[in-house]
């Protein structure tokens, strides 16, 4: 079973992560992890903090000469920004602050926001890069693209940059949509045998756990609601590569909606939970949008879930055990998939 845990606060000394159940024999160059962390850190729309962060990481177990050993992989990322925010009893609307303060019985919102912060997604990206690499070695390719930025859909690098600048100057933030796709996915991952083994549900949970993601679709998603069965049957890609909770051999297509970043320079009305006075909650350091960075994080979160499904189906404690099993399965299912 492939599983992971992350720990650490946004301005603590380190983020920590453990990936367990990962097979031996996967060459994992440090540069590969670094490149993935850089994609997340330098995505368009991010705040000045990202220029400070370097995402310096150390792998403290599970690798020998840049190759996995089958032992739990432990990763540390050092935070460059360690200015712990002062205690505050003013929850930031749209964040974990208010429900977290009630849940964990504290009047200090900083305690909640330090862990709820999307800084955690740096560690998910680091751990997810192992899964991405394993999938790649098995021939499965992941991609993502932002398809909507604050309502703007025909995006180029130039139009996105202009829209971000406009929002920043107006003191506003933007949401958007992104797609994550996987090509060359073996058929039969996941299961129809029990609800919690349905792969669509598992991928949905993985992507909806990315901070700020509020909507999830598979393939045609919500557009299927307005179609007749005849129309839907004409395009098998509307299934998004998943039927009955299992991959059907087609490309996996997942789509997410991300809410606009809630932290605003102009402030948002809130209530101080100590005094019960109304006050503005002001954020001077927020990203203008999280959608580009969230797409990168989502690639990694979904890769972890897909790699887990691959390992469940094919087993194997090392890459050399796993690889021929996947190849054999691809040969066996090739004819049936080609006929679809």
Ligand X SMILES: Cc1cc2nc3c(=O)[nH]c(=O)nc-3n(C[C@H](O)[C@H](O)[C@H](O)COP(=O)(O)O)c2cc1C
Residues that bind ligand X (CB under 6 A): 47, 94-96, 116, 118, 121, 210-213, 261-263, 283, 286-287, 290, 293-294, 297
Whichever of 21 and 93 has its CB closer to ligand X, that residue is 93
Residue nearest to ligand X (CB): 263
- Contacts made by residues 336-339, CB under 8 angstroms, sequence distance 24+: 336/187, 336/249, 337/187, 337/248, 337/249, 337/250
CB of 60 to ligand X, least distance (A): 25
Distances (CA, A) of 264 to 12, 23, 276, 281, 282: 24, 44, 21, 8, 6
The separation between CA 203 and the C-alpha centre of its own chain, rounded to angstroms, equals 10
CB of 286 to ligand X, least distance (A): 4
CB of 130 to ligand X, least distance (A): 19
Whichever of 77 and 213 has its CB closer to ligand X, that residue is 213
CB of 62 to ligand X, least distance (A): 26
Whichever of 109 and 290 has its CB closer to ligand X, that residue is 290
d(CA 191, CA 34): 34
Whichever of 62 and 262 has its CB closer to ligand X, that residue is 262
Q: Which of 246, 235, 228 has its CA nearest to residue 188?
A: 246
Buried b or exposed e, range 186-202, using 16+ CB within 10 angstroms: bbbbbbeeeeeebbbeb
Structure-block tokens of residue 42: 């330098």
Whichever of 273 and 297 has its CB closer to ligand X, that residue is 297
Whichever of 150 and 250 has its CB closer to ligand X, that residue is 150
Torsions phi, psi of 110, nearest 5? -60, -35
d(CA 9, CA 78): 11
CB of 135 to ligand X, least distance (A): 22
Tell me how crowded residue 30 is: count the other CB atoms within 10 A of its CB: 12
Q: Based on the number of CB atoms within 10 Å of its own CB, is 324 exposed (0-12), middle (13-18) or buried (19 or more)?
A: exposed
CB of 299 to ligand X, least distance (A): 12
d(CA 282, CA 223): 37
d(CA 296, CA 241): 21
Whichever of 163 and 190 has its CB closer to ligand X, that residue is 163
Whichever of 258 and 310 has its CB closer to ligand X, that residue is 258
CB of 43 to ligand X, least distance (A): 7
According to DSSP, residue 9 is labeled -
Q: Based on the number of CB atoms within 10 Å of its own CB, is 25 exposed (0-12), middle (13-18) or buried (19 or more)?
A: middle
CB of 292 to ligand X, least distance (A): 9
């Amino acid at each position: 079973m492939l599983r992971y845990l992350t720990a650490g606060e946004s301005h603590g000394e380190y983020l920590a992560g453990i990936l367990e159940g990962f097979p031996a024999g996967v060459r994992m160059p440090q540069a590969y992890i670094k490149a993935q962390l850089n994609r997340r850190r330098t995505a368009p729309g991010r705040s000045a903090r990202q220029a400070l962060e370097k995402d310096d990481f150390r792998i403290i177990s599970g690798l020998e000469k840049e190759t996995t050993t089958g032992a739990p992989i432990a990763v540390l990322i050092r935070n460059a920004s360690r200015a712990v925010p002062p205690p505050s009893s003013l929850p930031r609307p749209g964040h974990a602050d208010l429900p977290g303060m009630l849940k964990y019985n504290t009047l200090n919102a900083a305690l909640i926001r330090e862990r709820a912060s999307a800084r955690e997604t740096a560690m998910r990206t680091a751990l997810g890069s192992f899964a991405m690499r394993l999938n790649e070695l098995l021939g499965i390719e992941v991609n993502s693209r932002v398809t909507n930025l604050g309502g703007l859909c025909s995006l180029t690098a130039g139009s996105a940059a202009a829209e971000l600048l406009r929002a920043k100057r107006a003191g506003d933030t933007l949401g958007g949509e992104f797609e994550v796709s996987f090509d060359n996915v073996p058929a039969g991952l996941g299961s129809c045998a029990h609800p919690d083994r349905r792969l669509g549900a598992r991928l949905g949970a993985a992507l909806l756990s990315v901070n700020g993601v509020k909507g999830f679709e598979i393939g045609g998603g919500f557009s299927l609601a307005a179609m007749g069965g005849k129309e839907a049957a004409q395009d098998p890609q509307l299934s998004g590569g998943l039927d009955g909770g299992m991959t059907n051999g087609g490309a996996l297509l997942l789509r997410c909606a991300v809410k606009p970043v809630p932290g605003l320079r102009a402030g948002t009305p809130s209530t101080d939970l100590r005094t019960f006075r109304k006050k503005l909650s002001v954020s001077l350091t927020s990203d203008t949008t999280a959608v580009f960075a969230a797409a990168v994080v989502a690639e990694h979160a979904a890769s972890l879930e897909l790699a887990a499904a691959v390992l469940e189906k094919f087993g194997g404690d090392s890459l050399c055990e796993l690889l021929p099993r996947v190849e054999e399965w691809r040969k066996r299912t090739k004819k049936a998939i080609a006929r679809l």
